[in-house]
Chain A
Amino acid sequence: MAHEATLPATLAASSRPVRSATTESHLARLTLIAVSLLFVALFILAPLVLVFAEALRNGTGEFLAALTDSDTLSSIRLTLLVAAISVPLNVVFGIAASWAIAKFEFKGKAFLTTLIDLPFSVSPVVSGLIFVLLFSSHSLLGPWLQSHGIKILFAVPGIVLATVFITFPFVARELIPLMQEQGTADEEAALSLGASGWQTFWYVTLPNIRWGLLYGVLLCNARAMGEFGAVSVVSGHIRGVTNTMPLQVEILYNEYSFVAAFAVAALLALLALVTLVVKSLLEFRYSAQIAASRRH
């Protein structure tokens, strides 16, 4: 007590530290955090939690039964098949496109980049429609395809095409800024040491971009498995044949089989969560490599 009474005046005066000039008051901060968290809770977290809650509402028995339904199983198989075809195709394309765009200077580069991004700005339904217009019996190609017995619309090829279109930019978009940032010095060094073009790509370029590539593949895959609008337009909704998981969710939901619908939805939500977790881990561990392409 005696000590406190004899505190020098200067110490007493500065015991109220002047608030930092670059932050808000405590109250403002708490309010902003609270409002933001509430917003995220209402619009993002609540739907996610609800999916699992509804799927498990009647216990795990019914959940598993819903998933082992034969139509549902075939929708899962189809979704995996579509992703297994379209993702690798877009990986090859993405690497080729980013190699050409990031490592070389040529006329019309900016325009080419815009064209690659195009599918992002087209409505999914329009994306589906363009393939319908191309392959339907009213189209130029339609009658020819029909006479040769090739079925594209309302069949797996149409679904794959629509998915490839929708997921077209994902890999290239992640890789282009990354490869641009890394420049060409490493490759030039490898070439000067006598490596061939493929060796240079395999031993120098690919290791440099592998995490960015994985990140792009992840996003591409999530979208490929989850695409609804475009696939819905080209699939024809044939049960057990051309229904992907998202379409199966729609059908079950419209038939009021809510638990079954949410069971399939939960599977897709799980895929989304895994995607987010791996994405966060990658961002955390390889932030420098991925930062360049952080923006979507």
Chain B
Amino acid sequence: MDVRVKDIRKEFSHLPALENLSLDIRSGELIALLGPSGSGKTTLLRLIAGLESPTRGTIYFGEEDASSKTVQERNIGFVFQHYALFRHMTVLDNVAFGLTIRPSGTRPPKAEIRRRALDLLDLVQLSGLEKRYPAQLSGGQRQRVALARAMAVEPNVLLLDEPFGALDAQVRKELRRWLREIHDRTGHTTVFVTHDQDEALELADRVVVMSKGRIEQVGTPDEIYDAPNSPFVFGFIGESNCLPVRVESGQIWLEDRLIGLSAPGEADGSARLFFRPHDIELVDGCGGCLAGIVVQSRRVAGTRHVEIEIGAGRARVEIEVPPQKAIGEASRLAFRPTRFKLFRD
């Protein structure tokens, strides 16, 4: 089912947490809400779930206005950061809970509930553990139970709040791939919240980057990484460098030098130049390039990270060069960004 969020505003004791935010989530899509803490991503998720009610605005499930429906009526699946499993129930009872509490008219027969719960446990690869209690499971296993439990009610939309936040790095990576597989197999419309950009970029069909209660950019992982549309997104996603520059008749200047980059059609004035450390080429000599003194050079896995101080303002940038290139500290290095983006102040 597609979910539309329209002009939502949410205030907590008169402080806005979300401001006039709209978002269309397409049916069957796996979408990530990505942002630093305090960006409002969890609030948005909880608003869709009905765990919070908006100060203003509407949420549509399909064509239907869901805003005034209670969380119980919305039929969503929610996976909590700390799993929120019912610790007095076995794994099987946890998964079956959503079905067993239905009113007798819509409740499937006992055997059917059991069969469906077992099927789901099979899907999340926990067959054989149905008689365990949550206290007897590992973190990753608990997370899978939580997911199976949320899927048991055949939700309109599956909502996951930092689903891997409480797990250690190794398990995290495994579960990430596994969640993608589950999604591809079941086709639930899925929204998950994360502050981990690797997770968002690797897993999601589309990524929603949020900051300070607003949506900064919505796009595929490629679009978000390759074409950030704001300084925030450029700075938040991946590694980036930022230099204060000036545009004069289509040419870019750093202090009193031309840096060999042109910006045709840009109006004159100051701007900020963004580029990624690996989107550069080293140049010999310098007739129109960025050049500076090497402050530090570190070998990181397959590349060498070099930190350089540029110009009188001593602006620091970091670039990546091939590891075999010998670079002494205090030596001079010249380069030119191959891809960059200008943002006007």
**Do chains A and B directly touch (beta carbons under 8 Å) in the complex?**
yes
Q: Which residues of A approach B to under 8 Å, CB–CB?
A: 10-11, 13-14, 16-19, 21
B51 part of interface (Cβ distance < 8 Å):
yes
* Contacts A10-B6, A14-B67; A21 near B58 (Cβ below 8 A): no
A13 and B71 contact, Cβ closer than 8 Å, known pairs A18-B50, A18-B53, A21-B51: no
Q: In the assembly, what is the distance between CA of A11 and CA of B251, in Å?
A: 50
Residue of A nearest to B69 (CB): A18
CA–CA, A275 and B72, complex, Å: 47
Set of chain B residues within 8 Å of A13, measured between Cβ atoms:
58, 65, 67-68
Q: Is B54 an interface residue (CB 8 A)?
A: yes
Q: Known contacts being A18-B50, A21-B51, is A10 close to B57, with CB within 8 Å?
A: yes
Nearest chain-B residue to A11 (Cβ)?
Answer: B56
- The interface on chain B, measured as residues whose beta carbon lies within 8 A of the other chain's beta carbons, has a size of 17
Residues of chain A contacted by B6 (CB below 8 angstroms): 10
Q: Which of B7-29 contact A (CB under 8 A)?
A: 7
Closest chain A residue to B56 by CB distance? A11
Please name 21 pairs of A and B residues whose Cβ atoms are closer than 8 Å in the assembled complex, sorted by A: A10-B6, A10-B58, A10-B67, A11-B56, A13-B58, A13-B67, A13-B68, A14-B53, A14-B54, A14-B55, A14-B56, A14-B57, A14-B67, A18-B50, A18-B53, A18-B69, A18-B71, A19-B70, A21-B51, A21-B70, A21-B71
The answer to whether B68 touches A18 (Cβ under 8 A) is yes
Given A18-B50, A18-B68, A18-B70, 5 other A-B residues pairs in contact with their CB atoms under 8 A: A13-B58, A13-B67, A14-B68, A21-B71, A21-B72
Residues of B bordering A, CB below 8 Å: 6-7, 50-51, 53-58, 65, 67-72
**Cα–Cα, bound, A18→B7 (Å):** 18
Whole-angstrom CA separation of A19 from B51 in the bound complex:
9
CA distance A10 to B68 in the complex (A): 10
CB distance from A9 to the nearest CB of B (A): 8
Partner of A10, one of B7, B53, B69, B72: B7
A238 to chain B minimum Cβ distance, whole angstroms, is 56
Residues on the B chain within 8 Å of A16, using CB: 68
Interface centre among B6, B69, B71 (most CB of A within 10 A): B71
CA gap between A215 and B71 in the complex, in Å: 45
| Chain A to chain B: the 4 pairs with minimum beta-carbon distance, closest first | A17-B53, A18-B53, A10-B58, A21-B71
Q: Which of chain B's residues have a CB closer than 8 A to the CB of A17? A: 53
By a CB distance below 8 angstroms, the chain A residues around B50 are 18, 21
The smallest beta-carbon distance between B240 and chain A, in angstroms, is 38
B51 proximity list for chain A (CB < 8 A): 21
Bound state CA distance, A14 and B7, in angstroms?
Answer: 12
Residues of A within 8 A of B70 (CB): 18-19, 21
